[in-house]
Amino acid sequence: MPALRQSVEELALVETARKVLPAGHFGNAQTEIIIREGRAGRVWDMSGNEYVDFLLGSGPMFVGHCHPDVVAATQAQIPKGTTFFVNNEHGIRLAEEIVKAVPCAEKVRFNSSGTEADLYAMRVARAFRKREKILKFEGGYHGMSDYSLMSLAPRRPGNFPVPVPDSAGIPRAVTEQVMIAPFNDAATAESMIAAHQDELAGVIVEPFQRLLPPKPGFLQALRAATQRYGIPLIFDEVVTGFRFAYGGAQDYYGVVPDLCSLGKIIGGGFPLAAVAGRADIMAHFDKALVGDDGFLMQIGTLSGNPVAAAAGLATLEVLRRPGAYEGVFATGRALMEGIAEQIRKAGLPAQVVGEPVLFDVIYTNTPVQNYRDTLRADANLQKHFNQHLRANGVLKGESKFYMSLAHTEADVAHTLKAFAAAIEALAQSPALAK
């Protein structure tokens, strides 16, 4: 494996990180490289190593790093003030654009992170339904709240619908308020919704779960079952919003929920997220409409931050330009197909899973449709492939290739060459021989 050069300065900062940060990192991507800068579809670390960037800050940089229009929008706002704690024009204009774009969005409430957006989406569903239980899907990621960290990645999955806490520090009582269903199993989800209709406050789902596309009819079945009993359906679109289509995954898959959470792209690389949905449900954020008993308090120092909102508006303007989505889908499809062809030629026990704007290689030959299917994958092989890709100038997370409008044919060619080099190197590794 090629050795990445690391400067004395970067190595010293890595040591400082180990001293002052738990586990030596921010809790996100666990790598000892330290990124110095990013432009378009590439980043550079402190030692000067250059990478094609498929991490993209975990997805927000959909138009690429330092897009000139986004930079200009933020530079225009910063001298005028960076936060006010009252309404600002950029935030209002951004909410207006979200309502225009997202099918379910009649009202918008901003916050600062996807975790908050999902938390408030579940809470407002409880306020509306006057019920407490939430149905979520095993393997679904909805942020870091107590309710979300149930059966996200259980090492020993339990029996449905009993949740498995994913973290220390979660009160035991929370497990009594969350029910777990298998993703892509419409019959089981429908039966659980019917059996617990009087207890459920809402059903939350990633319409595209991590890397797994919904099976035909699955989202439609959830929509029909929740409508039948008047239960709010929540789409977690923190990742998919404005990525799969300008109207998000609900537009892409043609299924409209009652509520959705948004994040990442709408902040243009700055901390910004939102809950959006039906006016009658979102009314619970307005005491004048629902009174003291129905009012959901939500206060955030940086909610609707003007710099973030300016960046988000500029990002969405770029995405509205002719050919934007066609271009990124074409680039992603070329990379998906190129990797799949290399896998086929090498006879690797692997498959490319996802959509052209968001995908990865899962190292198993067996079909992958839900979380438990992913447990059959070879995590060790995935780890080594990711290491080889990084050593050959390709940066990605543990899972996911995030595509951007800024990625080029040259970036695709570089990545395919790096993947081929990883195949060749690993084929000669006795430790990984099968």
Q: Is 329 helix (H, G, I), strand (E, B) or coil?
A: helix
Rounded Cα distance between 258 and 24, Å, is: 41
Q: Residue 159 CB: number of other CB atoms within 10 A?
A: 7
Examine the residue annotation and report whether 325 is marked as an active-site residue of this protein.
no
Rounded Cα distance between 320 and 399, Å, is: 28
Q: Retrieve residue 131's tokens.
A: 């019920």
- Give yes or no for a contact between 41 and 409, defined as CB atoms under 8 angstroms apart: no
Rounded Cα distance between 382 and 363, Å, is: 7
Rounded Cα distance between 394 and 414, Å, is: 8
- Give yes or no for a contact between 263 and 287, defined as CB atoms under 8 angstroms apart: no
Q: Which of 120, 141, 325, 402 is catalytic?
A: 141
Q: Which residues are within 8 A (CB) of 44 and not within 5 positions of it... i.e. 6 or more apart?
A: 35, 36, 37, 38, 50, 51
Report how far apart the first and last C-alpha atoms of the chain are (Å, whole number): 20
For residue 196, the number of C-alpha atoms closer than 13 Å in the C-beta half-sphere is 22
Examine the residue annotation and report whether 264 is marked as an active-site residue of this protein.
yes
Q: Residue 192's beta-bridge partner residues?
A: none
DSSP conformation class of 322: T
Tell me which long-range contacts 177-180 makes (C-beta under 8 A, separation of at least 24): 177/132, 177/133, 177/134, 177/147, 178/133, 178/134, 178/135, 178/136, 178/147, 178/150, 178/151, 179/133, 179/134, 179/135, 179/136, 180/135, 180/136, 180/137, 180/138, 180/150, 180/151
Examine the residue annotation and report whether 236 is marked as an active-site residue of this protein.
yes
Q: Is 190 helix (H, G, I), strand (E, B) or coil?
A: helix
Q: Which of 264, 325, 360, 373 is catalytic?
A: 264
Q: Which of 45, 236, 251, 411 is catalytic?
A: 236
DSSP conformation class of 45: E
Rounded Cα distance between 414 and 354, Å, is: 21
For tokens 């002719």, the residue is 322
- Give yes or no for a contact between 363 and 377, defined as CB atoms under 8 angstroms apart: yes
Query: What are the residue numbers of the active site?
Result: 141, 236, 264
